[in-house]
Chains A and B, each alone.
Chain A
């Protein structure tokens, strides 16, 4: 009995003590909700940190506080930012990481290393590139009534659903960031007055930002990668003439299903060609021009849209090749299925990738037309 008592007391004491060493109380923490990194003069780094201030009373709404710090590395700047706030900065609720355009053109891995190394960091934070400086967007503090970090986080989430931008978090780009087998793409944020616009994709090659796609191309890029979101729609001009008037000349359609078939072929002379076959079944969303009860007309539309979309795909792939962004993971396919070819090509993959011949082919098939004809 006596021994039981001693054992149980010891157990209780130890259990409680273990908590003491590692406790990290929320009331002692200042939570980082977003962080932006920019290039500062003299090769330094400007970090903008958004922290959430909880109000003292119930009536006040929570507010964002923005801290700026200049230093050599992200960790260095964070420590400097910590000097400017009471209590301790904590990053485990971080929602977004923004990287300024100029900084992204350099290697981005050194900026992200601290997030990957720290066991407490939030790896599910969103990451994006901004037009101009990241600090300009975070300094908005609020968009409408929504705090900036939440607004960006929510906006990114909703745009992921509409196939405008890729679904990426810090964690999901980690494999691609070091791997030579594929390049990643990130959302590209643009400041529009007092709002933030997200509809474009920033392309990367080898951890460096190399170019931007237009909104339509961004969606096409994701479809070519077979990363379709819930809602995907295009608005396409119908006739080639430029003088046509008004919205009569357009069709908007939504893709219900997209099936991709990608094949990487290597010719004897080491020329790599990639065939991309996409089959879409689409529904018409807006077509003020005419009625859709004629089968012949639908066939005509199918043909027209197929051609227009194939052209768009070609343009997108061309832009990606110019940016050297191997977003489709062609190198990965080579490594896996043509290892000898890869051994010969990997030295100069960036420029060899630009020589890859892409043959996209998109088939559009209208199956739904809404509740009127």
Chain B
């Protein structure tokens, strides 16, 4: 498969692509969830989750490097045969679309709760999706460039969180192993989900320039930065909010910022949210891109652009349906299972399979 110039991205861009796909809605609620599961040790859980993700990244990379010029959708048939491969490809598309829908729906919920209380939900969904469509229909290179730029907002988010240390009380952390190591590790499992997004490797791997080792490095560095960022945010919130208060606030990060004010800006949480909207849109865009590359592969001879509109429409419907908390819970449960299935179990099986049947692509080193 020849890769057009416009679709090729550098390894640096690849790293930012991974970063932007990973940082999503999870960051706001993560400290709350970690505290509930692991108390003062929540930040350790986040680090452990990061390590687990790193292992998964190596597995995915092992799979991808066997097919250096194929995306997920084109190498699946090579491993499992045409029919099964196509069906699995469609299942992956479903997973990507559901992920995008769930993120979008969480996003609308938080924006609706914190900022735009009177704006109807469909308008929030539509506005976000329109910007995503506008981005996703462009070639990969354009998307990657925007992801690089938008990553700088993460630095601003870190700086804003630093203000929290004015009221920090480090004794809130102790005893660190209050919940017990068992719970800390269990919480790490919970922390895996806010970190999802590195699956993007499966789709964009062939478009990245350079050798496979460099690509692994780029993905790993991206993941590491995000894990550090998440751990920092969890840690910050753990030292600011006492253990007794944490269960009451589901978005501690915003709550903390709400109380601060500067000379000219009174509500820093709103400033933070506007940056966060940017970050979430890129995450949604990334999922949407993965799904539309798949759809493009199956129905439009590899032109993902044509699939973007109806892919976005499906995401819109999915998000619209989930206004009821019970449905979003259902989505969440489906996603958790399918995450293990599609990102851990299946790739491992594929990897073993491709070793056994020696279906190596021509270009392996």
Quick check: is A17 within 8 A (CB to CB) of the other chain? yes
Q: Which residues of B contact A175 (CB under 8 A)?
A: 167, 169, 240-242, 244-245
B123 partner, pick from A18, A169, A181, beta carbons under 8 A: A18
* A300 and B126 alpha carbons, distance in the complex (Å): 77
Q: Which residues of B contact A266 (CB under 8 A)?
A: none
B127 partner, pick from A18, A177, A336, beta carbons under 8 A: A18
Proximity bits, B269-309, A CB within 8 Å = 1, else 0? 00000000000000000000000000000000000000000
B244 partner, pick from A7, A169, A180, A336, beta carbons under 8 A: A180
Q: Nearest Cβ distance between residue B176 and chain A, in whole angstroms?
A: 9
Quick check: is B152 within 8 A (CB to CB) of the other chain? no
Q: Is the CB of B259 within 8 A of A14?
A: no
Quick check: is A176 within 8 A (CB to CB) of the other chain? yes
Which of A72-80, A117-125, A354-362 lies at the interface with chain B?
A117-125
Q: Is the CB of B120 within 8 A of A21?
A: yes
Proximity bits, A164-185, B CB within 8 Å = 1, else 0? 0000011110111111111000
Q: Is the CB of B259 within 8 A of A170?
A: yes
Q: Is the CB of A174 within 8 A of B245?
A: yes
Quick check: is B6 within 8 A (CB to CB) of the other chain? no
* A296 and B127 alpha carbons, distance in the complex (Å): 77
Quick check: is B85 within 8 A (CB to CB) of the other chain? no
Q: Which of A6-27 contact B (CB under 8 A)?
A: 7, 10-11, 14-15, 17-18, 21-22
Q: Which residues of B contact A92 (CB under 8 A)?
A: 266
* A174 and B244 alpha carbons, distance in the complex (Å): 10
Query: Given A11-B130, A18-B116, A337-B174 in contact, is the A171-B241 Cβ separation under 8 Å?
Result: no
Q: Is the CB of A169 within 8 A of B243?
A: no
Quick check: is B149 within 8 A (CB to CB) of the other chain? no
* A198 and B27 alpha carbons, distance in the complex (Å): 42
Q: Which residues of A contact B114 (CB under 8 A)?
A: 119
Query: Given A123-B258, A171-B258 in contact, is the A339-B175 Cβ separation under 8 Å?
Result: yes
Q: Which residue of A lies closest to B243 (CB)?
A: A179
Q: How large is the interface on A (under 10, 10 to 19, 20 to 34, 35 or more residues)?
A: 20 to 34
Residue among A22, A119, A176 with the most chain B CB within 10 A? Answer: A119
Q: Is the CB of B118 within 8 A of A179?
A: no
Q: Which residues of B contact A10 (CB under 8 A)?
A: 130
Q: Which residue of B lies closest to A338 (CB)?
A: B175
Q: Is the CB of A178 within 8 A of B127?
A: no
Which of A276-284, A305-313, A327-335 lies at the interface with chain B?
A327-335
* A175 and B169 alpha carbons, distance in the complex (Å): 10
Q: Which residues of A contact B127 (CB under 8 A)?
A: 14-15, 18
Quick check: is B260 within 8 A (CB to CB) of the other chain? yes
Q: Nearest Cβ distance between residue A84 and chain B, in whole angstroms?
A: 25
Q: Nearest Cβ distance between residue B206 and chain A, in whole angstroms?
A: 30
* A43 and B79 alpha carbons, distance in the complex (Å): 75
Quick check: is B250 within 8 A (CB to CB) of the other chain? no
Q: Nearest Cβ distance between residue B158 and chain A, in whole angstroms?
A: 21
Q: Which residues of B contact A22 (CB under 8 A)?
A: 115-119
Interface of B is mostly: loop
* A94 and B174 alpha carbons, distance in the complex (Å): 36
Q: Is the CB of A178 within 8 A of B123?
A: no
Q: Which residues of A contact B167 (CB under 8 A)?
A: 172, 175
Quick check: is B113 within 8 A (CB to CB) of the other chain? yes
How many residues in B have their beta carbons less than 8 Å from beta carbons of A?
34
Residue among B115, B116, B171, B266 with the most chain A CB within 10 A? Answer: B171
Q: Nearest Cβ distance between residue A181 and chain B, in whole angstroms?
A: 6
B126 partner, pick from A14, A21, A177, A178, beta carbons under 8 A: A14
Quick check: is B189 within 8 A (CB to CB) of the other chain? no
* A22 and B121 alpha carbons, distance in the complex (Å): 12
Residue among A92, A122, A179 with the most chain B CB within 10 A? Answer: A179
Quick check: is B80 within 8 A (CB to CB) of the other chain? no
Q: Which residue of B lies closest to A174 (CB)?
A: B245
Q: Which of B164-201 contact A (CB under 8 A)?
A: 167, 169, 171-175, 178
Q: Which residues of B contact A176 (CB under 8 A)?
A: 242
Q: Is the CB of B244 within 8 A of A179?
A: yes
* A124 and B171 alpha carbons, distance in the complex (Å): 24
* A181 and B167 alpha carbons, distance in the complex (Å): 16
Proximity bits, A153-173, B CB within 8 Å = 1, else 0? 000000000000000011110
Q: Which residues of A contact B240 (CB under 8 A)?
A: 175
A335 partner, pick from B113, B117, B174, B261, beta carbons under 8 A: B174
Q: Is the CB of B130 within 8 A of A14?
A: yes
Quick check: is B356 within 8 A (CB to CB) of the other chain? no
Q: Is the CB of B245 within 8 A of A178?
A: yes
Q: Which of A61-88 contact B (CB under 8 A)?
A: none
Quick check: is B1 within 8 A (CB to CB) of the other chain? no
Residue among B124, B173, B259 with the most chain A CB within 10 A? Answer: B259
Q: Which residues of A contact B126 (CB under 8 A)?
A: 14
Q: Which residue of B lies closest to A119 (CB)?
A: B114
Quick check: is B248 within 8 A (CB to CB) of the other chain? yes
Q: Which residues of B contact A332 (CB under 8 A)?
A: 169, 171-172, 242
Q: Which residue of A lies closest to B119 (CB)?
A: A21
Q: Which residue of B lies closest to A117 (CB)?
A: B248
Q: Which residue of A lies closest to B241 (CB)?
A: A175
Q: Which residues of B contact A122 (CB under 8 A)?
A: 266
Q: Is the CB of A21 within 8 A of B116?
A: yes
Q: Is the CB of B123 within 8 A of A21?
A: yes
A-B pairs with beta carbons under 8 Å apart, 19 shown: A15-B127, A22-B118, A22-B119, A119-B115, A123-B258, A124-B260, A124-B266, A169-B259, A174-B259, A175-B169, A175-B245, A179-B243, A179-B245, A180-B244, A181-B244, A332-B242, A333-B171, A336-B173, A339-B178
Q: Add 20 more A-B contacts to A11-B130, A336-B174, A339-B178 (CB < 8 A).
A: A14-B127, A17-B123, A21-B119, A22-B115, A22-B116, A119-B117, A124-B259, A169-B259, A172-B167, A176-B242, A179-B242, A329-B171, A332-B169, A332-B172, A332-B242, A335-B171, A336-B171, A336-B172, A336-B175, A337-B175
Q: Which residues of B contact A (CB under 8 A)?
A: 113-120, 123-124, 126-127, 130, 134, 167, 169, 171-175, 178, 240-245, 248, 258-261, 266
